[in-house]
Structure 1
């Protein structure tokens, strides 16, 4: 008899492949059961409805993202933002996205469209870690960490479209992943515009930051 945990894993893997290939509209319990090589009754035993299957699949992808980027969720509470190796974390995120591009994009779309993105473990930790970083002396002032989280993840998850279209093999994909990781770190460290060359924009940003601080009290 098949191990129930292994069967569930097989079903979720099949569902993630269908999500990546056809989007949410392409997922049905029948199609997933066929791809997973299990009978439909077995699929229904694990997931009563299509909606529950999709929800579980997004959670499954989130867990894989979490483990690839941050490590074991059971120990994440021990992590201090000041002790994080930002470069290594960025490399891990870019590498995972390069090898799992379609499902990463589906995950991001589903999470951002959900009523409460903070319910997703990976989003909660990624966005939360940027928020904790923004509150330290390590960060520049005025960071909107939620916007920054979306900008970073959208870029990381869409870059593989170009990379995979132009990479002949795994070595070239790895090099393209490194390029993206480098630019994310360079932007985070230096930005792109010299403030003295754009005084009007610098003034606007200072004023908007002051208004944001005022609204927060």
Structure 2
């Protein structure tokens, strides 16, 4: 999602149903928050950039505070769905699949990833965040199934993994904007995270595909 906030207003003035209007407002709000932080957000400003009538925007979001809160919740929901699917989907997710989905989401939508990280850093109750909760539950699945070492400090592990995932696209995009090179940088990140996981937190012999994973990791050397 590389388009600017102003470019998104190409959808301005066209008819939308209420749900589409709300989605358009939240999309622009998420981009604006990533760029300027919550203090740069206002209902009227977002309405203008989204091409939505000011009164209509206030119908959906009565106050700036409501817009900020719901934007953060919306971003967390997008992240959760992008990595883990719908709430009805089972917790189990292959470690490599989870790592790849997370890395690719962060690289493709760095603005959303930054908004989510800001939410966690400023929240008084980060444990209530849907994505954070789902991430920890997935880790607990590995521990409970005997696939990961039981003495893992799951919160420390989660912070290390998620902060690194959000920061890598910032580092990568500072180096290049070329799609091929960004893909290579994404692969580098996925491989290194898998190396750390397979030789640090997970129990290698518990995974039937570890022979393939070992070959996969040799490519990094």
> In which range does the TM-score fall when normalised by the shorter chain?
0.7 to 0.9
Which of 91, 100, 114 in structure 2 is aligned with 1:105?
114
Uncovered stretches (5+) of structure 1, i.e. residues with no partner: 192-217
- Cα deviation 1:141-177 (Å, max 9, x = unaligned): 3101011111100000001111111224112111111
1:15 to 2:24 alignment: no
1:60 to 2:74 alignment: yes
Which of 76, 95, 98 in structure 2 is aligned with 1:89?
98
* Residues 134, 145 of structure 1: 8 Å contact kept: no
CA distance in 2, matches of 1:5, 1:106: 22
CA distance in 2, matches of 1:118, 1:53: 21
Normalized per residue, the structure richer in helix is 1
CA distance in 1, matches of 2:96, 2:136: 17
Which of 125, 133, 157 in structure 2 is aligned with 1:124?
133
Name the SS of the counterpart of 1:54 in structure 2: helix
The count of corresponding residues between Structure 1 and Structure 2 is 186
- Deviates most, 134-143 or 29-38: 134-143
Q: Which has the larger radius of gyration?
A: 1
Which of 142, 145, 156 in structure 2 is aligned with 1:133?
142
CA distance in 2, matches of 1:137, 1:107: 30
Which of 163, 170, 182 in structure 1 is aligned with 2:172?
163
Tell me the TM-score normalized by structure 1.
0.81
* Residues 30, 112 of structure 2: 8 Å contact kept: yes
User: Residue 30 of structure 1 corresponds to which residue in structure 2?
Assistant: 44
Which of 28, 32, 42 in structure 1 is aligned with 2:56?
42
